[in-house]
Amino acid sequence: MSKEITQPDGTCHVVITGGAGFLGVRLARSLLTQGQLSLAGAAPANIARITLVDRAAPPDDVMADPRVTALTGDLNSLLEQKEAPALVVTGQTAIVFHLAAAVSGECEVDFDLGMRSNFAATLALLEACRALQTKPIVVFASSLAVFGDTAAQPLPAVIEDNTLPTPQSSYGIQKFIGEQLVADYTRKGFVQGRNVRLMTVSVRPGRPNGAASSFLSGMLREPLAGVRAVCPVAPDTPVALSSPARTVQGLILAAEASEQAWGPRTGLNLPALTTTPGEMAAALERVAGPAATALIDWTPDPAISNIVKTWPARIHSVRARGLGLLPEESFEDIIREYIRETPSAVVLGNRSQ
Amino acid sequence: MSKEITQPDGTCHVVITGGAGFLGVRLARSLLTQGQLSLAGAAPANIARITLVDRAAPPDDVMADPRVTALTGDLNSLLEQKEAPALVVTGQTAIVFHLAAAVSGECEVDFDLGMRSNFAATLALLEACRALQTKPIVVFASSLAVFGDTAAQPLPAVIEDNTLPTPQSSYGIQKFIGEQLVADYTRKGFVQGRNVRLMTVSVRPGRPNGAASSFLSGMLREPLAGVRAVCPVAPDTPVALSSPARTVQGLILAAEASEQAWGPRTGLNLPALTTTPGEMAAALERVAGPAATALIDWTPDPAISNIVKTWPARIHSVRARGLGLLPEESFEDIIREYIRETPSAVVLGNRSQ
């Protein structure tokens, strides 16, 4: 199987859509570091090339690696190209990590944008992979958003592997349709698809954004940079989170698991740690001292609070556990990881020692 | 709500895709007979026009009704038309029953045909309805096939309303994707969508076809016409069936239920009677005598048997029950109904009196 998708010299070529995004870059760095991939359970193949497909340019440190190339442009437009060098996938492509997507808020505001960026692009990518006739691996980044929210439709208290998704957003619908397409293209033998449902990621680096979940990173990230931050929900609101590292680990495991170990074509729920903003703040205080937590303003915002309360907060990922993917044991570990990786956070983190 | 989709004189226009097919014609006849529709719970509106969209021409008796018009052609091609008189939906369209589909076997043989006929046509129809800006009702005929089969992925012993569909055929995937599209176009206020999952229908009139389920009609229909028939599975194999009348009743109820009564946008499993070929033959004997059952050859076919054994056979449709939709109480009722409606069956049916 891997014979067809690896190069004659035994190396492999990797494509990451959304490759200049937060997770795409992080995935690229991890792959460059490990240097090899066991494609769907095959013997490890050296990674000879990683193509980062994105509208934005990847950061310089990643581009400095001779194995990395960037393909810059709109994914839908690129997928309409029929000739090199603008091809997203080629006969040399062993695996595609399909992370590119318009985000939830955008898709609610602009329905057609979401249908184009999340749905049509995924279908076009699968068609491009099918046309190769090499059965490349496609790791599809789906989302916890497929489960919708409890305000619109009751959800079980705990999300199990076989819980029925009832998406309540265009983003969730488009991700769930993507899963179905990946499943059937896999069943038909056009690709080797792996549907992975990503959890809410914290701590995300960078700046606050308009997402209702933004505070779940901001209430840690901002204080660790000496900046005030707001927690707009009650301290005891349960939330399900995963670290960036654990999320990338899940994507790589999806690529490396054998077909048998991976199991059904249904989306796999990555593990998530169930915690609360109160526990997160306590963890922050243990790691970075009261000076950090003093920067959190507990200012309830009913609008955000009402949204967050409807999100599934307990994910029971038996399938992921069977593959060796476990949730973090404590939010403290996640904060320590963030501090290790973030120069601007170290200052305050050290201050509390 | 219905104000916008009914005509100024209070009447309504109905579109049925697949309108020349077995269920489409039967639905048209029922609508012509009842003469009115309570659109999504509104006061009954007289049906002024029924447009039957199909590649084939509808039967003469239906076309003889002055309320019926036929729009003949390929649905995808018709949906590309931008001008009357070839429009599938117009500003006058109050409701579309979307029954048109390539069948399961065709979609397995020709993947692109299924994607075009089942997936792309459904998306184009929804887009055409959205463009009207009148929020027409769309009753989407999904299928029990969304649940896949137990051979490929374990299913619970009983299919509940919230059982996770894991389609194991392109047809099932395309129907399930159609449900997701209808759900989101409904949530966004583009249409008033109703997802209805049809069960295996028996007794279907007409001739045997290549479907693995063909015998479930043939083993009744053929003997009732004095013709030998084969039952290729063991007599005690459980199967879930619904009559043509009950199926059409479900489609009409989906059109007439108020939004509140209908409930979630998730596909609604129509009720099904769980029976076995043994029980079906016993019912046939009670209705039409031993001369009829003597025409059944019990010749096991391992290939068909292995397929049928993987189908969900127990459907627990609590939601349908709440709407007043119940499964038939006995297969005997289904046979009697078939005989009443089928001139060629009456002969043998009488013979046994």
Same structural domain, B98 and B23: yes
Contact B164 A166 (CB under 8 A): no
CA dist B251 and B19 (Å) reads 13
CB-based burial label for B85 (10 Å; 0-12, 13-18, 19+) = exposed
Same structural domain, B39 and B173: yes
Same structural domain, B236 and B159: no
The A residues from 58 to 117 touching B (CB cutoff 8 Å) are 111
Answer whether residue B352 shows pLDDT above 60.
Answer: no
Residue B205 belongs to some domain of the structure: no
- Our CA-based measurement puts residue A206 at a distance from the nearest CA of chain B, in whole angstroms, of 32
Contact A177 B173 (CB under 8 A): no
Residue entry with tokens 């969730």: A172
Answer whether residue B347 shows pLDDT above 50.
Answer: no
CA dist A105 and B250 (Å) reads 36
Residue B319 belongs to some domain of the structure: no
Residue B38 belongs to some domain of the structure: yes
Inform me whether the C-beta atom of residue B133 falls under 8 Å from chain A C-beta atoms: no
Nearest residue, CB atoms, B180 vs list A162, A163, A176: A176
Q: pLDDT tens digits for B314-343?
A: 999 999 999 999 999 899 999 999 999 887
Inform me whether the C-beta atom of residue B180 falls under 8 Å from chain A C-beta atoms: yes
Q: pLDDT band at B225, cuts 50/70/90?
A: very high
Q: What is the mean pLDDT of residues B153-176?
A: 92
- Our CA-based measurement puts residue A274 at a distance from the nearest CA of chain B, in whole angstroms, of 24
Residue B28 belongs to some domain of the structure: yes
pLDDT at position A85: 79
Same structural domain, B86 and B225: no
Answer whether residue B13 shows pLDDT above 50.
Answer: yes
Contact A173 B183 (CB under 8 A): yes
ipTM exceeding 0.95? no
pLDDT at position A43: 95
Q: What are the phi and psi torsion angles at B13 (to 5°)?
A: -110, 135
Identify whether the C-beta of residue A44 lies closer than 8 Å to the C-beta of residue A6. Answer: no
Q: pLDDT band at B2, cuts 50/70/90?
A: very low
Task: Spell B249-288 as b/e; 16+ CB within 10 A means b.
Answer: bbbbbbbbbeeeebebbbbbbbbbbbbbbebbbbbbbbbb
pLDDT at position B349: 43
CATH number at A21 reads 3.40.50.720
Same structural domain, B183 and B303: no
For the entire predicted model, the pTM comes to: 0.94
CA dist B235 and A187 (Å) reads 32
Identify whether the C-beta of residue B275 lies closer than 8 Å to the C-beta of residue B332. Answer: no
Contact A184 B173 (CB under 8 A): yes
pLDDT at position A307: 84
The secondary element (H helix, E strand) that includes residue A345 is: helix A343-351
Residue B320 belongs to some domain of the structure: no
Inform me whether the C-beta atom of residue A154 falls under 8 Å from chain B C-beta atoms: no
Same structural domain, A16 and A159: yes
Same structural domain, B22 and B167: yes
> Total domain count for chain B?
2
Same structural domain, A92 and A229: no
pLDDT at position A152: 76
Q: pLDDT band at B293, cuts 50/70/90?
A: very high
Residues of A in contact with B166 (CB under 8 A): 264-266
Q: pLDDT tens digits for A282-332?
A: 999 999 999 999 999 999 999 889 888 888 999 999 999 999 999 998 999
Nearest residue, CB atoms, B164 vs list A163, A167, A181: A163
Same structural domain, A181 and A222: no
- Active-site position among A147, A171, A185, A190: A171
Answer whether residue A13 shows pLDDT above 80.
Answer: yes
pLDDT at position A136: 98
pLDDT at position B85: 79
Answer whether residue A199 shows pLDDT above 80.
Answer: yes
Which residues of B are the active-site residues?
171
A325 three-state secondary structure: coil
Q: pLDDT band at B41, cuts 50/70/90?
A: very high
Higher pLDDT, residue A83 or B299: B299
Q: What integer best gives the mean pLDDT of chain B?
A: 93
What single DSSP character describes residue B262? H
The domain containing residue A222 runs over which residues?
A: 215-241+273-313+329-348
Same structural domain, B106 and B122: yes
Same structural domain, B100 and B236: no
Q: Which residues, other chains included, contact A193 with Cβ-Cβ below 8 Å and sequence gap of 6+? A: A137, A138, A139, A140, A182, A183, A185, A186, A265
B11 three-state secondary structure: coil
Same structural domain, A190 and A287: no
pLDDT at position A82: 85
Per cent of chain B over pLDDT 70 is 97
Q: pLDDT tens digits for A253-293?
A: 999 999 999 999 999 999 999 999 999 999 999 999 999 99
Answer whether residue B346 shows pLDDT above 70.
Answer: no
Answer whether residue A351 shows pLDDT above 50.
Answer: no
